Structure 1
Amino acid sequence: MSLPASIIYHSVIEGLIVMKENKRIEIFDGMRGLAAVVVLIYHVLNWSPVGYAAGKFEFINEGWRWFTQSPLKIVWAGNEAVIVFYLIAGFVIAKPYIDGRSIRFGEFVEKRFTRLVLPYWVILLVTFGLIILFGEMKETVRLSGSFNVKWAAVPEVGRQLLMMHHDLDTSGGAFWSIVLEWWIALFMPFIGVALRKFPTGDVVAASLAVAWVFMNFSGTVGRVAFYFIFFLVGAVLAKHLDEVRAFYRKRKWLLASALILVPFQWIVGPALERRMALLFTCAGLVLVLVGIIESPFWTRIFKSPFLLFLGRISFSLYLTHTTAIVLFVTVLGQAMDPRVALALSPAFAIGVAVVWYRYVEQGILKNISLRNVEVRTQK
């Protein structure tokens, strides 16, 4: 017996919609993978004396000036790469609620806790143990100021485990963004529902007004309020992606401006306040994201097996790479020039990330999550 034509038609349409959404998700995975590698490159260069100096606009030659104050900065634009993660997170978290999902906040918090906080706790404890074991040895290896402060003392464990932004630079250069992401993500389901129910302009205006008030606070609160903006932009993009794509199709030339907008704080120089510059960066990254979605060529690139592989391990790579690099340079720096050890460290960091992804992220922590699901099911 053949199926009615209407059922076949709707099945095909639903299948195409699923394929379209999966395509976007894969593109995001590829972008995450590339962003994680950019952060890795940033830390390697920033922990070298010449790269650290360039980050302060002090250049040993014109080559480093061009590598810092031109579109080439995109290759090692660490802070800008973090904004990629935040834009995508805002998009992905808010989208289901924009589409009609009701808020089950307890379940949401549990999933985010398992996905974000538990791995963060594990790498913190591993790092604390390594500081105790190798802290004195680390003091004999000197590179840049940013590298030298790492593992100089055992940080305040309690505050870091409680996701408070305190003394994180001593333990690792990437941990600060995990803390901010945890707190910001808790607001995003409510932003998604608000975007579904109310005009976008009203939601954005109210959100920015509240964020501006809290931006005046110091410490974690002020940083959460500022970086919330990038999650908000991702959520707005999730709601209006079709309109933004239609706008972009008529003005594809705008994509070229991303070469200036993304590394804007570096091209303009220290005269512009950093937070203001990062808003230009955000605009450039939105253009890049939409340009990739609209381009069959770049879609294929970001769906390539290599970038999808990097996307799968991107969180593990981001989470572990600073600890891996410091450990590698500390140990090998006893027998060779620390600068050479630093140059070799990315291969070790990627290897550690692969192992971490397989045995921690997809092993121990995934099993913890599955056991929680089984307990709830039995109850």
Structure 2
Amino acid sequence: MHGRLEQLDSLRGLAAVTVMFSHFSDVTTTYLFSVLFARTPLKVLINGHSAVLLFFVLSGFVLSLPLLNGRPINYSVFVGRRILRIYMPYLVSIILSILLSLVLSRGGIGGLSDWFNITWTSKISISLLYEHLLLIGNIHSDAFNNVIWSLVHEMRISLLFPLVFLIVKKFDWKYSILIGFFLSFFSILNDNFGFQVSNGYFTTNWDTLHYASMFIIGGVIAKHFKEIIMMYQSLSKLIKWILFISAFVFYNYPGVGIRILNIINFPYPARVLMDYIGGMGAVLFIVIALGSGKVTKLLMLKPINFIGKISYSLYLYHLVVLLSLTYLLYSVVPIGVIFLLTIVVSICFSTLAYFFVEVPFMKLGKKISNKQKLKQLPKELNKSIT
């Protein structure tokens, strides 16, 4: 039952598309799409932050599931595969982004937003390049490609994932979630006391404590995968619709809960609380994707599934393409044309990056894993004989 769950790839792909659209909404000074979409259901198309929370929960799920099914943890092999899966494609993309910034950037474009003009305008230094080479430090994530802030946490948590998995495996789900809450609220100390200033978008070590909780939640879903799916499938159609609407509201409007707390003057850590509300929406979407046959059929449509396959490259390269095309074409063609071209070029380029960068590194990771299995085979045979 636990083969590759390709509908989750598709879900990740749709989330990556919304991250791309969210960056379109940030380019102009009017933040046009944000104004048009923020108060409508169309907000789901530009909700990049909740999409990243979905990525984190999915990572916790897919990393935990094979381990829960009995695959032994070899730390060096695990980390090696994560480096090949996440870091190496990242490294290729960031080198390209740096080179393109040197060739195309004019130090900003008047009339576009501060968000646009903060990227590709930093003075390149050895320390800045070293930050991006290392990736896991408190990086200036908006210097060359601001999507990489989430990869900082992915790599940090990957290095510590055996601890995350230990929490998931050893504790009852309620205690696992409680530990996640503790990590999140412990991270708030940095918000209040400023132990570490973030050089990028939430790139402190304290922020990683908070986002590790999303990995724990994903691991808990994996641990109780069968029970959750059986429970969902036993629900009435009405309850399933209520869950879907709840997922949509939580995912897109986490600030609603904040407003309620404001009304009753309840003190709260707003950012963390909003992430948990958005994360709850992400969890429900994952459960629906796994448990609903109709949703699975939709997600398995070839175009959607293909976007899922190239989703990591799409996440890595869409902003590089957007910046490049904007510097090349702004004032030559309307901004809407640039956005359309960005979609087309990003998908084409991400397809190439998937087949010529991601796939070779994934194959190398599998070879490393298979070699380790062959080394362990004699030991397992000896155990079975004795």
Report if aligned partners of 1:329, 1:345 keep a CA contact under 8 Å in 2: no
Q: 1:141 to 1:356 in 2, by over 3 A?
A: farther
| Letter matched to residue 291 of structure 2 | E
Q: For residues 28 and 224 of structure 2, what CA distance do their matches in structure 1 show?
A: 42
Among candidates 316, 320, 331, match of residue 319 of structure 1 = 316
Distance in 2 separating the partners of 1:247 and 1:320: 39
AA paired with 1:81? A
Check the 8 A contact 2:165/2:216 in 1, yes or no. no
Gaps of 5+ in 1: 1-16
Counterpart position of 1:9: none
Post-superposition Cα deviations, 1:343-375, rounded to whole Å, max 9, x if no partner, equal: 432211111111211222224x45765786799
Matched, 1:233 2:233: no
Shift of residue 309, structure 1, vs aligned partner: 0.6
The percentage of counterpart residues that share the same residue type is 26
Which stretch of structure 1 is more off in the superposition, 235-244 or 338-347?
Answer: 338-347
Q: Distance in 1 between matches of 2:354 and 2:167?
A: 35
Do 1:237 and 1:244's aligned partners in 2 also have CA atoms closer than 8 Å?
yes
Moved more, 42-51 or 197-206: 197-206
Match of 1:309 among 290, 306, 310: 306
Is 320-329 or 181-190 further displaced after alignment?
181-190
TM-score normalised according to structure 2 size: 0.81
Cα 1:94–1:372 shift into 2, 3 Å: closer
Is 1:224 aligned to residue 208 of structure 2? Answer: yes
Aligned to 1:97: 67
Q: In angstroms, what is the RMSD of aligned CA positions?
A: 2.8
- Is contact 2:183–2:210 with CA below 8 Å preserved after alignment? no
Match of 1:157 in 2: 129
Whether the aligned pair in 2 keeps the contact of 1:29 and 1:308 (CA below 8 Å) is yes
Question: Is 2:173 aligned against 1:200?
Answer: yes
Partner of 2:21: 41
Q: Is residue 56 of structure 2 the alignment partner of residue 86 of structure 1?
A: yes
Aligned twin of 1:332 = 329
Indicate conservation of the 8 Å contact 2:325/2:338, yes or no: yes
Letter of the 2:247 partner, please give it: A
State the alpha-carbon separation in 1 of the partners of residues 165 and 253 from structure 2: 29
Give 1:174 shift: 0.8
Secondary structure at the residue paired with 1:150?
Answer: coil
Aligned length: 347
Please identify, of 99-108 and 369-378, the stretch whose mean Cα deviation from structure 2 is larger: 369-378
CA separation of 1:236/1:372 partners in 2, compared to 1, >3 Å: closer, same or farther?
closer
Q: 1:339 to 1:27 in 2, by over 3 A?
A: closer
* CA–CA distance in structure 2, aligned partners of residues 374 and 246 of structure 1: 33
Give 1:26 shift: 0.9
Q: Which amino acid is the alignment partner of residue 221 of structure 1?
A: N
Flag structure 2 segments of 5+ consecutive residues without an equivalent.
Answer: 191-195, 199-203, 263-267, 376-386
Does the C-alpha gap of structure 1 residues 173 and 142 become closer, same or farther in structure 2, counting only changes over 3 Å? Answer: farther
Give the match for residue 280 of structure 1. Answer: 277
Contact 1:141 1:338 in 2 (8 A): no
